[in-house]
Amino acid sequence: MEGIIGKKLGMTQVFSEDGSVEGVTAIEAGPCLVTQIKDKGKDGYNAAQLGFGEVKRLNFPERGHLKGVGHLLKYLREFRLDDLASIKVGQKVEVSLFKPGDLVDIIGISKGKGFAGVVKRYHFRGGPKTHGQSDRHRARGSVGATTFPGRVLKGTRMAGHMGNRRVTQHNLKVVQVDMARNLLLVRGAVPGATNGLLLIKKSRQGE
C-alpha cells in the first residue's frame, strides 16, 4: 500500500536523544480495511479503496458496497497502486506501513475562515494612512485596466472565501510510530482542524 487514512489529534512536542525538542502532529492512522479493488482492465486504472472509522448505521447502498468487508465504515478513499498482486478485499492496513525517518505527504481540508479581505487572505499591505485616505487602509487598490484588456483578469487576488480547501503538505518526516495505539507522529503542522480527516501517503518526491 502507498498510504493510509487517519485523523488529526492535535500537536505536541517530543524530545530527541540529544535533548532537542521539536513540534509534532499526532495522527490516529488506521487501522483501515481494503473495501474495493479497481484494476486497469475493468476500471481504467489500478487502485485500492480503503475504509476508515467504524459506525453503527449506514444506508442500504453503503451497506451493500461493504458487504464483503464485514464492517460498517464511515470514510472511503482511494489510493492509486502500481501492483495489485498482494492486495485483497478485507485486508487490514495499519500504521506499521511507516517507520521513523520516512517522508510522507499529508492531504487534509484546511480550516475554513469564511469571507476574508485581501490583507488577511493574501497579506496585502493596505493603502496609505494619511492624505485624506480614510477608507483605504485595508483596500486592495486597482484590479483592472482602462484600455487593453479592459477587464479584470481571472485569478486576480481579491477578497473572498478563505480556507476550507484541499491542501497537501509535502515531505513531512515521521518522528515516531506507535503501533499499539495506531499513532503516527510527524514533524511540523498538517492541514486541517483537530479530528479532521487526513490522507497519509508515502512521499514520491526525490525518488
d(CA 51, CA 170): 23
Whether the predicted model's global pTM rises above the 0.85 cut: no
Domains of the chain: residue spans and CATH:
3-112+166-202 (2.40.30.10), 113-162 (no CATH)
Residue type present at position 193: A
d(CA 124, CA 118): 6
What pLDDT shows up at residue 60? 93
What pLDDT shows up at residue 25? 95
- Alpha helix (H) ranges present in the chain? 40-43, 60-65, 118-122
d(CA 174, CA 24): 9
What pLDDT shows up at residue 207? 52
| Per-residue pLDDT of the chain in tens (207 residues, 90 and over written 9) | 889 999 999 999 999 888 899 999 999 998 999 999 998 888 899 999 999 988 899 999 999 999 888 889 999 999 998 888 888 888 899 998 899 989 999 999 999 999 999 999 999 999 988 898 888 899 998 888 888 888 999 999 999 999 999 999 999 999 999 999 999 999 999 999 999 999 999 987 755
What pLDDT shows up at residue 165? 95
Cell of 168: 497537501
What pLDDT shows up at residue 13? 93
What pLDDT shows up at residue 33? 92
